[in-house]
A and B are shown apart, each in its own frame.
Chain A
């Protein structure tokens, strides 16, 4: 088999049992792999109404046919589960080396179920799978856990294998079931949104260590080599990709701020004065960058390892990326780059999602400033821009101490407790990411209809022509959502392969690598099927039209450029264009077209 390995590993932590199964061929045919295969398995095996932090929930680490082949920017993995933050489907993606290593170990997917009675980590090397004690690791921060694990295994492997091995961990936040805890891997990379770190924590699973000595086969090796060489040239000629290579996402905060689309002060504004210094992205690069850090097989190396001179923050970390800079920076009124670095460092090490953490803390800051949240509840003042309070609150949240215990429950819980639910800028319980939807209206529709909640990775940043024309919003939103679903199932990097420019590329990589004659039509059908199955999962979990909404601030109060997002107008059109009824439920005709009659029964 080319591309796929054809096997998946199932680990039951309750029974301490592992089994290897064949990856079903209809799963590959209908859902490709990655995110698609993950949601199909989850849908078939769990009741969508279960408690996401109970032992019934499953955690699926998924790769796809392009992972580990060396397709440029094809080194990612997806984690699929039910989110404790939103109660909806969760499918965060993450770069680094873990995805390829899982493939080299021989598996397309790793399904983790049950709950271990005591802290464990999972060791996988080809067909050797061991559940090992993690007592000594419990409570340790993310990078420290990784370091200790490598030290523990240093006797067993040669230098290169030990270095090449991928380690996935959770920090204290995941252990303490913070609802926006993330899964960390390869020294600071995060499968961030949706809080799946807490799902790992609920299973007492501290980490995974994966090494594999196997191979991944490619159908047309000569064609593949030529296509990669051509791609290098195309990449050099592409201005957007050249910016990514030099600055990663650091070119974005300045630009977003300049155009008034930067989330600022809990989305009260689209502009934050101290961020004007980032209009020259070399300022960030020169201040904190250590080196460009590629994911497996990516020539663009857009992620940047960074460091500041502060003994309280030793070592290096990854980022902060644009989204983290916006949510932890401008959205919390923090403009100093070193302070943003510190906040990002704490999130990475404690194992919390930077975007959600920023969204929740900025909500607390607004509640405090407006007098709804008394200082005695927190223990210290928390106005916008109070950096030290923010750092302290992050530590407390990860450990669920004092006021942090409430924050750990998520933004909706916080805002509701103080009587102003409208002040949490979240969708389906998940904090909105950096681009202010009032600056680019189509993003508002993308956020509101996103199956996982307020997340930027499931449609695309609208770089294309005509993005401001409202008559294209609905069509482009559906098209991009379906397209990214296939990118996430292949699994390619959505940052590099987003936008209509790259549609043909995805198709040709799949053809060359797998030897299957996919057509564009096949891919859009797979994408739409995945999107609809995720929607059905959500509907059965109780997430419906009432949750496809934006915060009132975005739809009712013109904060940016005197504009609001006309969601009421766009949403019915979107439902109709998707072939859903007025309540956002897929019609029988649509289900039949996608082959989802069985899954959609009883809606």
Chain B
């Protein structure tokens, strides 16, 4: 199961960040959310904190989204030691998406009224 992101549908409302932190901490705190939205003039880019990696990768690169350069680290799903986001603010332990438990029911998808986030198998 994966969460599919359609960045052209995202409006930047950040309700996914809100509900993720509510789900995991019982309060609204975007710094504890496992999904973060980057906002640009032309589109918004939700990024999900994915599986941990042991070490930083060696394929750090620039990617192109809608014709514009973006730092590859920004859109990469891996929680890697080189990344400063997706860290629990008090302990610095990496935050990782858990698809909101078992059975999987990702709340960010449920709260995405713009359908930018959908589930695919």
- List chain A positions with a Cβ less than 8 A from chain B: 68-70, 72, 97, 104, 158-161, 163-164, 187, 213-218, 221, 224-225, 228-229, 232, 235, 290-299, 301, 305, 315-316
Contact = CB atoms under 8 A, between A and B. Distances in A.
Nearest to A228: B111
Contacts of B27: 215-218
Ranked 3 nearest A-B pairs via Cβ: A70-B18, A294-B13, A215-B29
B52 interface: no
B41 A187 contact: yes
Given A215-B27, A291-B42, 10 more contacts: A70-B28, A72-B15, A158-B84, A159-B71, A164-B30, A164-B36, A215-B25, A216-B27, A297-B13, A301-B11
Contacts, number: 98
A221 B42 contact: no
Contacts of A316: 41-42
A104 B30 contact: yes
A290 B8 CA distance: 10
Interface in B30-63: 30-32, 36, 38-39, 41-44
B22 interface: yes
B31 A213 contact: yes
B19 interface: yes
Interface string B78-112: 00000011000100000000000000000100110
Nearest to A72: B15
B114 interface: yes
A48 B29 CA distance: 39
Contacts of B74: 159
Interface residues of B, number: 36
B115 to A, nearest CB: 11
B22 A294 contact: no
14 contacts: A68-B28, A70-B18, A158-B84, A158-B85, A159-B85, A215-B25, A216-B28, A217-B27, A217-B28, A290-B41, A293-B12, A297-B13, A299-B11, A305-B41
A570 to B, nearest CB: 40
B110 A229 contact: yes
A358 B90 CA distance: 50
B32 to A, nearest CB: 8
Contact of B22 (A187, A225, A290, A299): A225
Given A160-B38, A160-B85, A316-B42, A291 B11 contact: yes
B13 A298 contact: yes
Contacts of B121: none
B30 to A, nearest CB: 7
B11 A293 contact: yes
A297 B11 CA distance: 10
Given A160-B36, A297-B13, A305-B41, A225 B26 contact: no
B40 to A, nearest CB: 8
Nearest to B7: A291
B6 interface: no
Given A160-B85, A225-B22, A297 B14 contact: yes
A11 B27 CA distance: 28
Contact of A299 (B21, B39, B113): B113
A297 B29 contact: no
A129 to B, nearest CB: 19
Contact of B39 (A72, A163, A216): A163
Contacts of A298: 13
B113 A235 contact: yes
A215 B11 contact: no
Nearest to A69: B28
A342 to B, nearest CB: 18
